Structure formats: C-alpha cells, structure tokens
Amino acid sequence: MLYFSKFRIIFIISISLLFIFIASSNILKFSNSLLNKKINLGLDLQGGSYLLLEIDNTPVIEQKLQNFTISLRNYFKDKNIRINNIKLNNQKILFSTDQKNKQFILETFTDEESELNPYYPRFKSHQLEIFEENNFFIVNYSRQGLIELKTSSQDQALEIVRRRIDEIGTNEPNILKRGNDRILVELPGLDDPMRIKSLLGKTANLTFRFVTNNTEDSFGAEKLEYEDESEEAMVSKRIILSGENLLDAQPRMDSETNETVVTFTLDRVGAKRFGKATSTGIGKQLAIVLDGKIISAPVIRDTIASGSGQISGGFTFQSATDLALLLRSGALPAPLNIIEERTVGPDLGQDSINAGLIALIIGFFLVILFIFVKYKIFGLITNLALILNLLFLVGILTIFEATLTLPGIAGIILTVGMAVDANVLIFERIKEELKSERNNLIAFDSGYTKSRTAILDANITTLLAAIILFFMGSGPIKGFSLTLGIGIFTTLFSVYFIARLLTALYVSKNKEKGNLI
C-alpha cells in the first residue's frame, strides 16, 4: 500500500534538506571547510589552456641500449668470449664474433638458465630480439618491448607533469594519457600558459660534473655551453651526482652577495658522494649541468660534507623558484614536445554556460508545463520531485567537487527527460488500474508497483551505457556519462521516494473522491 512510516518520512525530508543545503554552496559561501565545496567548471566553460604533449622516447631507448651494451661486453668478457666491433647504430646493437662462439651466443639469448635470460623477449618487459647473419649479430627492442617501454616512460612522465603543475597551484588541472606516448593537459582558468609551457618543456636532468681541460679523460669529456650562451667549457662525462640524489630544493636570497640562489639538500648517498668529490677536488671547478647546459661552475674551496649546497647563476626570484620546482619534482624520463596548443577565452566559456543554461531552462519549463497540463495536481508533484532531482544531482557533484563541462550539462538535461519519462509511465499505468479498480489507494499502489519493472529496465540499460562511455571514452564523453549515471540514481530516488511520498499523502487525504487522475 501507499504507506510511509514516520522514520522513512523523516529520512526523505532530511536527505532532501541536506542536498539542498550542499547544492546551495555553489552560490553561497560557508566558513566551514567541510561544506565549502562547489562544482568546478571545465575548460570549455571557464576558459583556459589545452596542451597536448608528445614524449620523445628516442633518448630513452638509446640510453637503455647503451647500458645493455655495457652489460653485453662485461658478460662475454667474463665468459672469455670475444665479441668484435660492438656499436650502437639506429637503435640497434651490432657486434660480430668468431664462428666458434656463434652457437654459445645464440644459446645465451635463448637459454632459460642464462644470466642474460631477463633480456629475452618471453621473460622480461623490456624485451630484446637478436638476429644473426654470418656471425654478425643485431640486438634491438621487440615491438612489444617498445610498447611497454613507452608505457613505462609515459606513466613516469605523467606523474612528474602532475607534480610540476600541482607545485604551481593550478586550479583543478586535468592530466590524462593519450595513446602510449602522449599526455593531455587541460588547465581551466589559465589564460597565459607560457610559464607552464616553459616548465613542461624542460627535462630537468641535473648532473654535477668536474670541468676538465684533459680531452683524454678516462671517462670521456664533452664541450657544453653555459645557459646564457656566453662561453663554453670542457666537462667530464663522469657524473658525480644526479638529480636523483636531491631531497629538496628551495629558492633563497644569499645574505652575503644579495643574490637569488637555489639551495638544495642531498640524501645520505648523495651527501657521501658530494663530500668525497669536494674533498678530492679542491681547487677544481664543479659544473652544475641542467639539460645539457651549464648553469654555473663554482670553484671548490673546501670539503662540503653537510649534504647541502646552493646553485647560483644570476637568477631572478621567479627563475630560481621555477628551477627549484623542477628539481623537486624530478627529471622527466624523456623530452616532451608540445604538438597541439589551444587557449579558450573566458568569454567563449561564458557563452557556452549561457547557451547550456538557456537550453536547460527552456527544456525544463516545457517539461513542467506539459506535465502540469497533463496530470494537474500530480503534475505539480512531479515537477517538485523534478526540481529536487536536479538539486540532488548538483549536490552529489558538489560533494565530489566534480568538474562540469558542456557535455555534462547535456547529461543533466537528459536526466530531466528520463525523470519525466518514469513519472509518465507510472501515471499512465495508474490510469489503466483505475479502469478496473475503484479503490484509489489500491490503484495508485498497483500503478507504482507494476510500472517498476519497465522503469528499472530502462534506467539500468541507460546506466550500463553510461558506465561503458565512462570507462571507454575520454574528456567530454566522461563528463556526459558521469552526470547521466548520477542522474539515473537521483531520478529513481526522486520518483520512488519523494514523488511517491507526496502522491501517498495526497491520495490518502482524497481517497473517497472520484477519479483523481
């Protein structure tokens, strides 16, 4: 029967008031941080910057193969197997051997018991393939190995991009994968992306190396430019420290020179290496190299055993802040190239908001008018439940501080239509029941009960479609599916709790009247 206990009535009223209060936080400001939440506007509504970044994995592949070249050389040397002319060319390792060693090398790459077994395609994610022709071997990454290497590089780059953007304090950034070598960055509200582009365009590969005049350095040497391109210096390829040893980096003002510097703190291993290098290198220049450019090359005056130091280089406070941010967030595994860039102005976003709101208001008004004309007092009940349904939806989005996009508004409009559809099914079923049942209470209760299956079927199938769109789609599609999916649950609650409660109260008071609908 159309019966609601006092507990259910109190529960429904409490839930309704709670979500009305939460939804109102998008307009009103609350001092309580727990309730100080609101829906965030997406890039298409608020305006902002859109960047599509592509990861250049070529240096990563070459570095991995270069490391493997050393492993190969050392492994075969330990086995007293001579390999000749080993070199890296076009992302392939090439080497030759004597006829008598040919079979051993082949078995080395295919034998499950071999020490090089982890590099064989079937057993390791970074998979390598070996090809042999006339005692000449070619080792390179397999197709699957390249895909997995790119995926790993993308995951690492995604995390570092997120750290850099979070450090700046950008409001609600949207950072997503695209394929296995691209990253999408959406920055709502940001209309000047130059600083972000500068930060994301730097790999931030930091190394500390000695300046040397000896071109025959046992580790090799290379000529590098200073960052301001004022001069060049010959720098040893031996890396004393890398950015991986940094615990923290902060911009500071040097009290002695009144110059902006970047102070850094090293981990235990880094502090030990730094102390040893500075104790044996007193009088030498220690080049601080960032992305292949020398930032500064101070002369070591004394042993630095504290595990901390500073980088100077004529910084402004902004450039020192950015450098410290880059060092704290870590080096990218590979360079990032901006292949697509768009800036959406706030005026265009406001136009989208206005268009969406106008569509929602017109659609909502026409639905309310139709339902009221068609079902009179029950149409009024439906309209009230419909308004609460929208407030529930907005309230849930507010709790999770969701980002609303233009497709999300489309999902809300569709929710309105689906909520009305459920009520139409119920009322039309009640009309059918009233033809054979004179008791209004029984007819209305039967109408709600017998229409339940059709309503659930329609909403469940729509929910399944929304779930598929959410997990398979991306960007705007996710926004649409999210609001649609939440709208299905709020619709069912508003129909079977709110509208049914109001209907029950009205029918109970007018059960002796004739045809109520």
Q: What is the pLDDT of residues 305-329, one digit of tens each?
A: 888 888 877 788 888 888 888 888 8
More reliable by pLDDT, 145 or 109: 145
Query: Rounded to the nearest 5 degrees, what angle is found at the Cα of 116, between the Cα atoms of 114 and 118?
Result: 105
Overall average pLDDT of the 100-110 stretch: 72
Q: Which domains does the chain have, with CATH numbers?
A: 6-47+345-509 (1.20.1640.10), 50-203+332-344 (3.30.70.3400), 206-325 (3.30.1360.200)
pLDDT, one tens digit per residue, over 242-261 is 888 888 888 988 877 788 88
Q: Do 53 and 64 form a contact (C-beta atoms < 8 A)?
A: no
Q: pTM for this one?
A: 0.65
What pLDDT is recorded for position 494? 93
- DSSP letters for 264-276: EEE-HHHHHHHHH
What pLDDT is recorded for position 31? 47
Amino acid 265 reads: T
396 — pLDDT class (breaks 50, 70, 90): very high
Amino acid 177 reads: K
Paired tokens of 50: 């859109």
Q: Is the pLDDT of residue 442 over 90?
A: no
DSSP state of 25: G
Q: Is the pLDDT of residue 135 over 50?
A: yes
Query: Rounded to the nearest 5 degrees, what angle is found at the Cα of 380, between the Cα atoms of 20 and 359?
Result: 65
Q: How far apart are the C-alpha atoms of 183 and 14, rounded to whole Å?
A: 44
What pLDDT is recorded for position 124? 43
Complete edge-to-edge strand list for the sheet that includes strand 83-88: 83-88, 93-97, 136-141, 128-133
CA-to-CA separations, 57 to 87, 148, 201, in angstroms, rounded = 20, 12, 14
pLDDT, one tens digit per residue, over 176-204 is 888 888 999 888 877 667 878 888 888 88
CA-to-CA separations, 61 to 8, 121, 146, 172, 282, in angstroms, rounded = 64, 16, 8, 33, 37
Q: How far apart are the C-alpha atoms of 183 and 174, rounded to whole Å?
A: 10
Q: Strands 403-404, 40-41: parallel, antiparallel or unpaired by DSSP? A: parallel
Overall average pLDDT of the 340-364 stretch: 75
Q: Cα torsion at 79, 84, 87, 93 (round to 10°)? A: -60
What pLDDT is recorded for position 35? 61
Judged by average pLDDT, the poorest of 111-125, 213-227, 392-406, 470-484 is 111-125
Q: How far apart are the C-alpha atoms of 61 and 336, rounded to whole Å?
A: 15
Q: How far apart are the C-alpha atoms of 80 and 97, rounded to whole Å?
A: 12
What pLDDT is recorded for position 119? 46
Q: Is the pLDDT of residue 439 over 80?
A: yes
Q: Is the pLDDT of residue 283 over 60?
A: yes
Q: How far apart are the C-alpha atoms of 286 and 298, rounded to whole Å?
A: 6
